[in-house]
Structure 1
Amino acid sequence: MKLHKATAAAAAALVLSLTATACGGDSDEGGDGGDKITIGIKFDQPGLGLKTPDGSFAGFDVDVATYVAKELGYDAKDIVWKESPSAERENLISNGDVKFVVASYSITDERKQKVDFAGPYFLAHQDLLVRADDNSITKAEDLNSKKLCSVTGSTSAQNVKEKLAPKADLQAVGGYSECLTGLENKAVDALTTDNSILAGYAAQKEHQGKFKLAGLKLSDENYGIGLKKGDTELQSKINAALTKMESDGSWQKAVTANFGPANYKNEPAPKITEGS
């Protein structure tokens, strides 16, 4: 995987985070090179936002956040990464614990009641991950006679169960790694969530060649960058950075580096709709 740039940048950020507080409050307002910026990402999503065993950070969301921060006036060494689990994203933004969040954060009307978004910067679709040698699952309905794995509380799994394959044998577990183990061991037949997340797992070195994406588009997930409600100035600056990232080729380079080993067929960069 071509992650050396993101890893190097993230390693520099980690060194800084060990010597600085991660409050992200008043200290990250400026961009004169002496200030820091706290950015929320996932720490447990390969390909998107992952804290690696050596303590560095890698993934597409990390690359996007690093690029945006640079456009806002912050070098990689000025970034403090803060873990942002799905359930905590709105609170971290509202409380000022982070400047913004880049964490496979789908733009929804419900979330826009609490925070604003810039972007979107990526269009994902709900998909299925199956074993590389399994050609029996080519559409969602094929799951009716199969064992489907997802994490507890997953909206993706419920979408399949309620709308697409009501007879699927749904197995809910604590984490995606358990699903991957079950898929490899043939205890389950498929794993479902966003295709970007699935591609990230499939692209990991230890998984390469074992799994494949079914290539289905069971939902549209527009990933946005979450920020404090009403901060239109920051929203505009982030949108400008995202536009530049796409136009100068950095966006596609990051997609290829992080998802390429999974033979992921990504959508083109989406049109920015938030704040416009």
Structure 2
Amino acid sequence: MKRPPPHHRRPHPRPTGRRPTGRRRAATAVLAATLLASTATACGIADADENSVAAKDTLVIGVNGDQPGVGERTGGGSFQGFDIDVAREIAERLGVTGANVTFKQVGYATREKLVQDGDVDLVVASYSVTPERKVKVSFAGPYYVAHQDVLIRASDTAEIRSIHDLKGRRLCKVPGSVSFPRVHDEQGVAALPVQADGYARCLTDLTAGRLDAVSTDDLILAGLAAKASAGGHALRIVNAPFTDEPYGVGIRKADVAGCEAVNKAITGMYQDGTTAELLRKWFAPVGLNVTTTVPQFEGCV
């Protein structure tokens, strides 16, 4: 059926000026309440709640204690290294300083659980971002992209020139670390595992001759080599990197606002030269080539 011409159409009824009935007022109130609740929920996604690291006055940050130059516990019980300085700088840019920042030593096998249980607010501990870990926690950053390499005794330089030369040789294996599986499982190199509870023990075993090599991120290897040199041991990094290791800041999965705040802090550290300064401070003495451009972030959602 054809529609009538415009001048034949039924006009819209004019307002009568009558007040809405009680039923209509009730329906309007329900609709308004629903819209208000929806708006509050939407705002909560972007705004930091009281449990977000972006809103806290104190922070507990998980760090390593066995990685010279990266994260190491000193004889006095304090922590030092590149990761420690990065963590302290991030906290300061979140508005938390001094005694309001507490460092807690974490292990490779316990980091995810400590974040999930709320025992730590952040983890800054050479924490490589992997798909498996992202199921359990979120990652801000990365604040640096390292590369897995191999550390050997200087006397073995001619015999070990890449990870493929580790076949049949004793290689340190730290539970919870992905470094040994990257060599043995992903690269298919039949190295012989020698278990240690951390990379400080790997270093001790390497210099004592109980190991042939240590393979992990180049920042960690550089710190180990520097400590060995100070103790009179000559070690060498093979300089044959075979992975990218994005170091993320572990954070509770629901804390999107906190993740975004940490990303803002990391970006600022690169832009104002703070990250470059810290990399020079800890790794320039061992001649490690470092990257000083902002890494590509993982994304917080």
Give the counterpart letter for 1:211 in structure 2: L
Deviations 1:25-75 (A, max 9, x none): 9797756xxx42211111222222111002221011111111111111112
Distance 1:147 1:92, change over 3 A: closer
The Cα of 1:133 is off from its aligned counterpart by 4.0
Corresponding position of 1:242: 266
In 2: Cα distance, 1:273 partner to 1:84 partner: 23
User: Which ranges of structure 1 fall in alignment gaps of 5 or more residues?
Assistant: 1-24
Task: Give the secondary-structure state (helix, strand or coil) at the position aligned to 1:110.
Answer: helix
**Candidates 13, 26, 45, aligned match of 2:67:** 45
Percent same amino acid among aligned pairs? 39
Tell me the TM-score normalized by structure 2: 0.74
Q: Determine if the alignment matches structure 1 residue 222 to structure 2 residue 246.
A: yes
Corresponding position of 1:97: 119
Corresponding position of 2:129: 107
Distance 1:250 1:233, change over 3 A: same
The Cα of 1:266 is off from its aligned counterpart by 2.2
Deviations 1:158-214 (A, max 9, x none): 332345464434433344334323332444322112222111211226347621211
CA contact (8 A) 2:66 2:198 kept: no
Q: What count of residue pairs does the alignment treat as equivalent?
A: 249
Distance 1:141 1:51, change over 3 A: same
Task: Give the secondary-structure state (helix, strand or coil) at the position aligned to 2:258.
Answer: helix
Corresponding position of 1:71: 93
In 1: Cα distance, 2:271 partner to 2:52 partner: 31
The Cα of 1:229 is off from its aligned counterpart by 1.1
Deviations 1:143-167 (A, max 9, x none): 2254333335653223323454644
| Root-mean-square deviation (Å) | 2.6
CA contact (8 A) 1:140 1:165 kept: no
Tell me the TM-score normalized by structure 1: 0.80
Give the counterpart letter for 1:125 in structure 2: H
Corresponding position of 1:168: 191
In 1: Cα distance, 2:67 partner to 2:149 partner: 16
Distance 1:164 1:110, change over 3 A: closer
Give the counterpart letter for 1:143 in structure 2: L
CA contact (8 A) 1:105 1:225 kept: yes
Task: Give the secondary-structure state (helix, strand or coil) at the position aligned to 1:55.
Answer: coil
**Candidates 77, 80, 103, aligned match of 1:81:** 103
CA contact (8 A) 1:126 1:221 kept: yes
The Cα of 1:258 is off from its aligned counterpart by 1.8
CA contact (8 A) 1:202 1:208 kept: no
The Cα of 1:78 is off from its aligned counterpart by 1.8
Corresponding position of 2:164: 141
Q: Determine if the alignment matches structure 1 residue 190 to structure 2 residue 246.
A: no
Distance 1:41 1:177, change over 3 A: closer
* Mean Cα deviation higher: 42-51 or 145-154: 145-154
Corresponding position of 1:274: 299
Corresponding position of 1:22: none
In 2: Cα distance, 1:30 partner to 1:162 partner: 42
Distance 1:155 1:94, change over 3 A: closer
Distance 1:55 1:206, change over 3 A: same
In 1: Cα distance, 2:232 partner to 2:292 partner: 24
Give the counterpart letter for 1:124 in structure 2: A
CA contact (8 A) 1:143 1:165 kept: no
Task: Give the secondary-structure state (helix, strand or coil) at the position aligned to 1:105.
Answer: coil
In 2: Cα distance, 1:272 partner to 1:126 partner: 20
Q: Determine if the alignment matches structure 1 residue 150 to structure 2 residue 173.
A: yes
